[in-house]
Amino acid sequence: MDIELTAAAARHPAARPGMAPALKDLSLRVAAGEHVAVIGPSGAGKTTLLQLLACALPPASGQLRLAGQDPWALPRPALQRLRGRLFLAPQVPPLPPRQRVVTAVLAGQLPALGLLASVRSLFYPSDIPAAHAALDRFDLAEKIFERVDRLSGGERQRVGLARALVAPASLWLIDEPLSALDPTRSRQAVASLLGSARERDATLLATLHQVDVALAHFPRIVGLRDGELAFDLPASEVTQERLARLYAQHEHELLGAPPAALPPADASPQPVVMHCR
């Protein structure tokens, strides 16, 4: 699915009046089947951009077109059908704790199922081979009948990614897929994600804090800062100078170190003062 975003601004409904919009005057063209990493410091607007593209948030101004259509001009049933072709993976996947992994993965198919089939799938997961194949891409096949609350944070995050592989979507919007993964798992997970997107001809946008992984795996890098486009370049043209400018005053994010304001890990804990009324 191709994306055309023209001079778009976005504002969260809960944002305080007078606050700058989370995205300002953002224009972006992504062709069907492209793979794009979105990087930038905390608060840059990366998640907001994915929400805008997922039709979870309407543009405050400017225009969005997905597959040539303005989603917000569509009648409700057509908007719902379009949303069924989008897959948004939030950073923390909303997995019910007592659910089995197989059910959690197959929940990715729900947008394509009718109401009855959806309810049946929740109680009697039928497409077990699809769930198994998706989990296998993330090295989790042996956990297929495990309960979600018995998984580690990184395993849960990979279950959330496996959902994309069973979803009937042609646009994958993946928010911070690697935040709970160690460096080796990060590289494996991103390679699986990109390989699977390629096999399905899906357009993929992923926000990433791991700049090295983004540059190594994604052909195109979009840098966001303060809700604006800082650059949109092939990975090979993203220089250290550009990164230093993108992360100025947020160097700890670029270097993967803790923020300077945090006390060192071995600092003695401060007493906690509690006030009782």
Ligand X SMILES: Nc1ncnc2c1ncn2[C@@H]1O[C@H](COP(=O)(O)OP(=O)(O)OP(=O)(O)O)[C@@H](O)[C@H]1O
The window from 46-54, 125-133, 145-153, 262-270 that contacts Mg ion (CB under 5 A) reads: 46-54
When the beta carbons of 16 and 76 are compared against ligand X, the nearer one is 16
What's the closest the beta carbon of residue 178 comes to ligand X, in angstroms?
A: 12
From the list ligand X, Mg ion, none, partner contacted by residue 27 (C-beta under 5 to 8 A by kind): none
How many Cβ atoms are within 10 Å of 114's Cβ, its own excluded? 9
From the list ligand X, Mg ion, none, partner contacted by residue 186 (C-beta under 5 to 8 A by kind): none
From the list Mg ion, ligand X, none, partner contacted by residue 43 (C-beta under 5 to 8 A by kind): ligand X
From the list Mg ion, ligand X, none, partner contacted by residue 45 (C-beta under 5 to 8 A by kind): ligand X
Closest Cα to residue 163, out of 106, 216, 86? 106
Cβ proximity of 3 and 171 under 8 Å: yes
What's the closest the beta carbon of residue 138 comes to ligand X, in angstroms?
A: 22
Instruction: Please report, as ranges, the residues that interact with ligand X according to CB under 6 A.
Output: 12, 14-15, 22, 40, 42-48
The residue whose Cβ lies closest to Mg ion is: 47
The answer to whether residue 47 forms part of the interface with Mg ion (CB under 5 A) is yes
When the beta carbons of 73 and 257 are compared against ligand X, the nearer one is 257
What's the closest the beta carbon of residue 38 comes to ligand X, in angstroms?
A: 8
The window from 44-52, 129-137, 162-170, 243-251 that contacts Mg ion (CB under 5 A) reads: 44-52
From the list ligand X, Mg ion, none, partner contacted by residue 42 (C-beta under 5 to 8 A by kind): ligand X
What's the closest the beta carbon of residue 201 comes to Mg ion, in angstroms?
A: 27
From the list ligand X, Mg ion, none, partner contacted by residue 262 (C-beta under 5 to 8 A by kind): none
What's the closest the beta carbon of residue 50 comes to Mg ion, in angstroms?
A: 8
Q: What residues line the site for Mg ion (CB under 5 A)?
A: 46-47
